[in-house]
Amino acid sequence: MSARVARAGWAWGSWGRRAASSHREPPPNAVDVAELLRDASSAEAGAQEAVARRPPAGCSVLLFPGQGSQAVGMGAGLLGFPRVRQLYEAAHRVLGYDLLELCLYGPQEDLDRTVHCQPAVFVASLAALEKLHHLQPAAIENCVAAAGFSVGEFAALVFAGAMEFSEGLYAVKVRAEAMQEASEAIPSGMLSVLGQRQSNFSFACMEAQEHCKSLGIENPVCQVSNYLFPDCRVISGHLEALQFLRKNSAKYHFKRTKMLPVSGGFHTCLMEPAVEPLVKILGTINIKKPLVAVHSNVNGHKYMHPQHIRKLLGQQVISPVKWEQTMHSIYERKKGTEFPSTFEVGPGRQLGSILKSCNRQAWKYYHHVDVMQTSVDPDL
């Protein structure tokens, strides 16, 4: 196996054998589809030299979408590619229900439930990697960085060889169940807001909190939970706070507001009850140093070591997703320097749209790996 493929880390099917795990509650019947990465650690230094010699135009970046990108029919465009059905069969064993059936046929309201859509987006994204590997293997071999939005970060880490598919999916299952339970405890949600230069998001959130207090709500939550691109934020919190912001959008110079199809105020302290179950399961998973740079949602920086991954994945649930900062970290370069090819791997094109608003030059080299329809087009 070449050093570059070893560095890519996905291993094309290392879905259950990378190393013995100390799982107290192991995912049942983890599947072994392909040979593990071999000699990855010894190959890494050579791979780094190869990457250093390649011009940016010869490199790639992979972006993995998060919750909210799900749609009935996703996965239909992937089933003709090698090992995708086996991937969904493995997911069935880990989750205990037929995820593929739900993704293909819905209903949408069931797919939108946090407990279902997080595993669905995770698996669809990694299945889309099979398509990308089949049509453009160089995009995998030449990958120099990866990032995932919220739950997409788990897919990025599996791709980078930091955790096995089965254990990553099991962690996502625990995360989704805990976040679903937390969201049901308090009526909350997420509001996408396109503002203007004069928009003061912090002030708007503060006034929304005061409004909630006037309604008798104790310790109301309303805060920026996603930094998407300049002047665009997602605000999470109590539903009453979000309704107040929508009603008073002109006062705060908001151009447009839209409620997101999620069930709770994610990436705020409202999700505090979900942290402990996730941290507990992460402590039982065999996490490795990523073989490709993976950027954390919490600060936009690269993960450095396994304990760093465990710590920040736990924090991520209650911390804002700093996606705009992550895009700057990945794509910032000297004027005149070429950009890598970027592939959004999974349902939807939201991350491509955000990239266009963050860095139009980088977006010119953007591609989407479609999960809805079968395609052999080199543009995916």
Q: Catalytic residue positions? A: 150, 267
Per-residue HEC secondary structure of 169-208 comes to HHHHHHHHHHHHHHHHHCCEEEEEEECCCCCCHHHHHHHH
- CB-based contact 151:322 (threshold 8 Å): no
Give the angle subtended at the CA of 313 by the CAs of 311 and 317, to the nearest 5°: 120
Q: Coil, helix or strand for 313?
A: helix
* DSSP strands (E only) in the chain: 60-64, 143-148, 188-194, 222-229, 232-238, 256-259, 293-295, 321-322, 341-345, 366-369
Tokens of 259: 């409620």
- CB-based contact 57:338 (threshold 8 Å): yes
Q: Coil, helix or strand for 258?
A: strand
**Cα–Cα nearest to 165, from 357, 41, 29:** 29
Rounded distance, CA 65 to CA 36, Å?
26
335 class by beta-carbon count within 10 Å (0-12 exposed, 13-18 middle, 19+ buried): exposed
Q: Looking up tokens 């939108």, which residue turns up?
A: 112
Rounded distance, CA 322 to CA 354, Å?
12
Cβ atoms within 10 Å of 363's Cβ, excluding its own: 18
